[in-house]
Structure 1
């Protein structure tokens, strides 16, 4: 048995500032890994980071920029 620490659906929802329904939808859709224990779901501590990385938008590269992902707004233009 692993020694992972687990969070509840409510804890994940509060952390990400989304509803518990949204988190349950991610679980049921297979996007967020969870373990069903009793009447509730438990999410291993490492899995929300994996989930967020898989949903991150790619960096934008501005043609002719030396800074790669820097856009006009980020440069203060």
Structure 2
């Protein structure tokens, strides 16, 4: 995911920590910290962590005061 995303529509169905970091403009370490946090919609597949696009968007909306 090297190119800048300009809309949620351009995101893949699932996001990795690197993708979460890029979308939110935070470090990779910050993304991993977030993905381990309670309330963040992380899906664990073995040791791999991903987040579904729709759950990620909902989390952003909820945590930015735009839920509704």
Greater RCO, CA 8 A, separation 6+: 2
Gaps of 5+ in 1: 59-77
Q: State TM-score, norm by structure 1.
A: 0.56
Aligned residue-pair number: 54
Select the structure that is richer in helix.
2
Mapped pair 1:29 → 2:37: yes
The structure 1 segments of at least 4 consecutive aligned residues displaced by more than 6 Å after TM superposition are none
**TM superposition score normalised by structure 2:** 0.62
Aligned to 1:41: 49
Question: Deviations for 1:26-70, whole angstroms, at most 9, x for unmatched residues?
Answer: 222223111122332111011221111122157xxxxxxxxxxxx
The alignment's C-alpha RMSD in Å is 1.9
Larger Cα-atom Rg: 1
